[in-house]
Amino acid sequence: MKFIYITIISILIFSGCSLFGNDDEPAEILFTVQNFSSDELSITTTGTKNGLNLSESDFTGNNSEGLGSTNSFSTDNDGLMTVSFTFINENNILSEGEFEIDLREDWQWSVNFQIGTADYNPLDTCFGCQFYESFELNPESLNSSESEADSLYVILGGNFISEPVVY
């Protein structure tokens, strides 16, 4: 009988299971607004532990280069997260849209919003970026310094939390 208990405990230990709970590695996400600013913004998510509702006050480093970044937020370790966003300038929608992210255990997603032209490929100059989507900009809502831009790019990259790759 003692052999059976030792065998069961050994199997649990070697398989990575725990007798006392879930050993899942954390998963996180953060958001950055780069190279433009917005009078108002809204970013909401579904499919995360608590869902997120972000506004301009959630970003630090607000300057002429953009709104900066948020802190990291915990997410589920798997499944899909839907991100909906709206950027508003002078009471006009600058851009809005929705996209999905495959959540992963032990992973921190970085979601970067930036504007550019339609012929720009954000992956050309990005280390660790995995994919992007582009959304149309409303030209009436652009500031004069951004007048040549016609697209809002959402660029997604990420890295392991426990053993990050150094680029």
**44 CA to centre of own chain:** 11
Q: What is the predicted pLDDT for the residue at 71? A: 94
Would you give per-residue pLDDT tens digits along the chain (167 residues)? 555 444 444 444 444 444 443 457 899 999 999 988 888 999 999 987 778 999 999 998 766 567 899 999 999 999 999 999 999 998 999 999 999 999 999 999 999 999 998 888 888 888 889 999 999 999 888 776 656 789 999 999 999 999 998 86
Q: What pLDDT does residue 20 have?
A: 42
pLDDT of residue 13: 43
Instruction: Give residue 1's pLDDT.
Output: 55
Q: Are 165 and 151 in contact (CB under 8 A)?
A: no
pLDDT at 35: 87
